[in-house]
Amino acid sequence: MCGIIAVSKRTAALADVLDILRGALESLEYRGYDSAGVAVVIPPEAVTGKAPAGKASAGKAPDGQEVSDDKIWIAKSAAGTGSLNELAKKCEQFVLSVGNAPTDIVAGIGHTRWATHGRPIEANAHPLMSCNGEVAIVHNGIIENYFELGAQLQKDGHELTSETDSEVIAHLIESELAKDGSADVGDNGERLHKAVLKTVAALKGSFALAIVWSKAEGTVVAARRISPLIVGITSDLILVASDIPALLGYTRELFALEDDQVVQLRPGFLKLTDIKGAEIEPTPMNVDWDVQAAQRQGWDDFMCKEIHEQPSAVRDTLMGRLLPNGTLTLDETRFSDDELRSIEKVFIVGCGSSFHAGMVAKYVIEHWVRLTTEVDIASELRYRDPIMDSRTLVVGVSQSGETIDTLRALREAKRQKAKVLVVTNVVDSSMAREADGVLYTRAGPEIGVASTKTHLAQITALEILALYLAELRGTLYRQEISQLLKALAKLPLKLEQTLAHEAEVSLVADQFGQANTFFFIGRHVGYPVALEGALKLKEIAYLQAQGYAAGELKHGPIALIEPGVVVVGVATRTLLWEKLMANIAEVRARGASVVLVANQGDTETAERADAVLWVPTTHPLLAPILDIVPLQMLAYFLAIKHGNNVDKPRNLAKTVTVE
Ligand code: M6R
């Protein structure tokens, strides 16, 4: 998804601010993007060299750089994943040509664009300018009424030059500034704030916005509806970004904008208002991630690092909940025990890997807690008219806490008076703030687009929740619970043992490196593991991979099984192992190659496979936490063998903030 950064810095040269913008855009890269751009308001005292070529009102120099008469410099690149490199070169040339004297204050904005409305070309890359070249904006989200707004703006004489839904915002702000009677007198930061208030009131849809105006030197105004936006503050620097990792290197003094809030910022000045202009006090965020956690630290890529961080992700998620005396505590969810006892039905909702974690939870909650549990894809649940009430617990599962489909589904649940609990990795994320209760996974920042450590942490947190409910509602004996807690506590060590098989998994990837059709099958809790294994292979290796409930194969998909197809079975020892083996026999009989996830030393399973992915034994309902790991590694090695960038797979975004 698009990434936004805005900066205002005191006693800075242009190069300082451009460096901060570039660095922040690099840390937003993982969200997925196809073009990028920056804009800075040029303070006159910064210009010591000759003025840049192509100076014209929002005009374009031959090299694609734009400079308005009113001193906003813009550079863009639509070179796909090479955009940020190209942009860095343009910034260097610009600084060389205009000079780099220190000035009192410099403000700028930057953007990585993940195309929705309009092709990934420079004209559609952000920042986008108003006609007079005085206002530049960056936007994440979708303006649903852009067509009507654009038509009216054109009638009023504005010239729209991009194919985006976002450009109207710059023109609307320009119009509002023009209507303002106090033109060119008074506090221009305040004038911009008011113009943005009027503009966002006219917008339908979702937005995270950052705006600079050439006449409001050093001021950034930002606004939010649905799409996330975080503000970071130091004594001489303010930053606004789409997510926390972009800010971690500068400050932990952060707060998140809420829906329909607008903020006006300069170092030493902050004014936060609601959409009507009433002032609000920001609520600080509590972020305990450190900068290193969001860096590669010598690993080849983030995905590999994060796969190897899984033992600590699970350990940290258990920490403080699994007490040394073998009992469980879960005070932090904000629900009273009576409230949790009153629940009659559970819905679990999420997208992608988070949905798969929710599927595992359905099996465990139904089995251990004996509560009817539905699990649904968020974008489906939201619009299928589900029936909920105050005795329904809706559990939203989301690594980012910002996925728009899940956020909307949870809002629908709240509208129906259900109790909403969120399992998320991001403290004070939108879902965490809006939910009635939160259960944080403690996996640390996940930068690789493919979820790995956060997925395992989600399953761990959901298993803890299920055991807590079982204890509270008396559906499991104390002794059963304590055995399960002991088994949970052993998982970090068993994950380390699983990761020790990495080299063998790489050989299996070599063995099937030429295959291009994969089926992942499993039964019971092995079924969501199969779906997750297939999703990993699709998203980073770009291979045809289908995930199926093994028993369902013979109801249609088996027609696709033929020599050359690889069937990956989740064959650790569960109640349904024999039945799964029957399904494996069916695909072998039709010529498929078979790879099985099996418990260490289980020769009976190994005999039925062309290759084996070993995992330690654990309680069958905890097994997904181990079984998914070799499938993550298999997808990883196949992706690397195909020469893919595993951290930034094509077409994908880390956090999906559009429906
Ligand atoms: O942030 P969320 O957990 O809400 O994200 C949900 C999905 O977009 C996410 O799990 C996606 O499927 C991952 N790329 C899978 O690896």
User: What would the pLDDT profile of 106-159 be if each residue is shown by its tens digit?
Assistant: 999 999 988 888 888 889 999 999 999 999 999 999 899 999 999 999 999 999
**Ligand 1 atom at shortest distance from the alpha carbon of 450:** 16
Question: Whose alpha carbon is nearest atom 12 of ligand 1?
Answer: 352
Distance 657 CA to ligand 1 centre (A): 11
Say yes or no to pLDDT of 57 above 50: no
Say yes or no to pLDDT of 65 above 70: no
Say yes or no to pLDDT of 59 above 50: no
Show the tokens assigned to 307: 């796969």
Q: Please list, residue by residue across 97-119, b when 16 or more beta carbons sit within 10 angstroms of its beta carbon and e when fewer do.
A: ebbbeebebbbbbbbbbbbebbe
**Ligand 1 atom at shortest distance from the alpha carbon of 452:** 16
**pLDDT category of residue 609 using cuts at 50, 70 and 90:** very high
CA distance 518 to 512: 10
Higher pLDDT, 138 or 657: 138
**Ligand 1 atom at shortest distance from the alpha carbon of 405:** 4
**pLDDT category of residue 51 using cuts at 50, 70 and 90:** low
pLDDT at position 326: 78
Catalytic residues: 2, 654
- Using DSSP, state whether 602 is helix, strand or coil: coil
pLDDT at position 83: 87
Query: Is the Cβ atom of 354 under 6 angstroms away from ligand 1?
Result: yes
Residue 646 DSSP symbol: S
Q: Scanning the structure block, which residue is given the tokens 């300018």?
A: 129
Question: Whose alpha carbon is nearest atom 16 of ligand 1?
Answer: 450
Q: Which of 351, 355, 441 to mutate to test the pocket of ligand 1 (most atoms within 8 A of CB)?
A: 351
**pLDDT category of residue 640 using cuts at 50, 70 and 90:** very high
Say yes or no to pLDDT of 202 above 50: yes
**pLDDT category of residue 58 using cuts at 50, 70 and 90:** very low
Question: Whose alpha carbon is nearest atom 9 of ligand 1?
Answer: 352
Distance 409 CA to ligand 1 centre (A): 15
DSSP string, 163-222: S-SSHHHHHHHHHHHHH-TTTTSS-HHHHHHHHHHHHHHH--EEEEEEEEETTSTT-EEE
Question: Whose alpha carbon is nearest atom 6 of ligand 1?
Answer: 351
Query: Is the Cβ atom of 399 under 6 angstroms away from ligand 1?
Result: yes
Choose the weakest-confidence range: 79-83, 417-421, 428-432.
Answer: 79-83
- The number of helices, as runs of H, and strands, as runs of E, in the chain is 20, 25
Q: Scanning the structure block, which residue is given the tokens 């995270």?
A: 208
Distance 22 CA to ligand 1 centre (A): 26
What mean pLDDT do residues 283-296 have?
A: 77
Show the tokens assigned to 561: 């099984």
Amino acid symbol at 245: P
Q: What Rg do the C-alpha atoms of the chain give, in angstroms?
A: 26
Distance 48 CA to ligand 1 centre (A): 48
Contacts of 169 by beta carbon, 8 Å cutoff, 6+ apart: 128, 137, 139, 143, 199, 203, 207, 209, 211
Distance 447 CA to ligand 1 centre (A): 12
Query: Is the Cβ atom of 352 under 6 angstroms away from ligand 1?
Result: yes
Question: Whose alpha carbon is nearest atom 11 of ligand 1?
Answer: 352
Higher pLDDT, 31 or 246: 246
- Percent of all residues in the chain with a pLDDT value above 90, rounded to a whole number: 74
351: closest CA among 325, 378, 369, 327?
378
Query: Is the Cβ atom of 423 under 6 angstroms away from ligand 1?
Result: no
CA distance 534 to 269: 50
**pLDDT category of residue 101 using cuts at 50, 70 and 90:** confident
Say yes or no to pLDDT of 177 above 70: yes
pLDDT at position 183: 56
Query: Is the Cβ atom of 353 under 6 angstroms away from ligand 1?
Result: yes
Distance 9 CA to ligand 1 centre (A): 34
CA distance 456 to 353: 10
pLDDT at position 60: 40
Higher pLDDT, 407 or 183: 407
From residue 385, alpha-carbon distances to 382, 406, 412, 416, 631 in Å are 7, 15, 9, 10, 35
Question: Whose alpha carbon is nearest atom 7 of ligand 1?
Answer: 352
What mean pLDDT do residues 194-218 have?
A: 95
Residue 48 DSSP symbol: -
Region of residue 397 (phi > 0: left; psi between -120 and 50: alpha; otherwise: beta): beta
**Ligand 1 atom at shortest distance from the alpha carbon of 454:** 3
**pLDDT category of residue 241 using cuts at 50, 70 and 90:** very high
**pLDDT tens column, 272-289:** 999 999 999 999 887 777
- Percent of all residues in the chain with a pLDDT value above 70, rounded to a whole number: 95
Query: Is the Cβ atom of 656 under 6 angstroms away from ligand 1?
Result: yes
352: closest CA among 425, 452, 461, 441?
452
**pLDDT category of residue 53 using cuts at 50, 70 and 90:** very low
**pLDDT tens column, 179-189:** 876 655 668 99
Query: Is the Cβ atom of 403 under 6 angstroms away from ligand 1?
Result: yes
- Using DSSP, state whether 134 is helix, strand or coil: coil
pLDDT at position 28: 84
Query: Is the Cβ atom of 429 under 6 angstroms away from ligand 1?
Result: no
Distance 354 CA to ligand 1 centre (A): 6
Task: Answer yes or no: are the C-beta atoms of 168 and 160 closer than 8 Å.
Answer: yes
Distance 236 CA to ligand 1 centre (A): 36
Query: Is the Cβ atom of 449 under 6 angstroms away from ligand 1?
Result: yes
First-residue to last-residue Cα distance in the chain: 11
Distance 647 CA to ligand 1 centre (A): 13
Contacts of 10 by beta carbon, 8 Å cutoff, 6+ apart: 104, 105, 218, 236, 237, 267, 268
What mean pLDDT do residues 544-570 have?
A: 95
Structural domains of the chain ordered from first start = 3-289 (3.60.20.10), 296-489 (3.40.50.10490), 499-659 (3.40.50.10490)
Q: Which of 303, 353, 429 to mutate to test the pocket of ligand 1 (most atoms within 8 A of CB)?
A: 353
- Using DSSP, state whether 469 is helix, strand or coil: helix
Say yes or no to pLDDT of 229 above 60: yes
**Ligand 1 atom at shortest distance from the alpha carbon of 424:** 3
Average pLDDT value for the chain: 91
Say yes or no to pLDDT of 61 above 50: no
**Ligand 1 atom at shortest distance from the alpha carbon of 352:** 12
CA distance 346 to 472: 15
301: closest CA among 450, 424, 444, 425?
450
**Ligand 1 atom at shortest distance from the alpha carbon of 399:** 3
CA distance 519 to 517: 7
Query: Is the Cβ atom of 451 under 6 angstroms away from ligand 1?
Result: yes
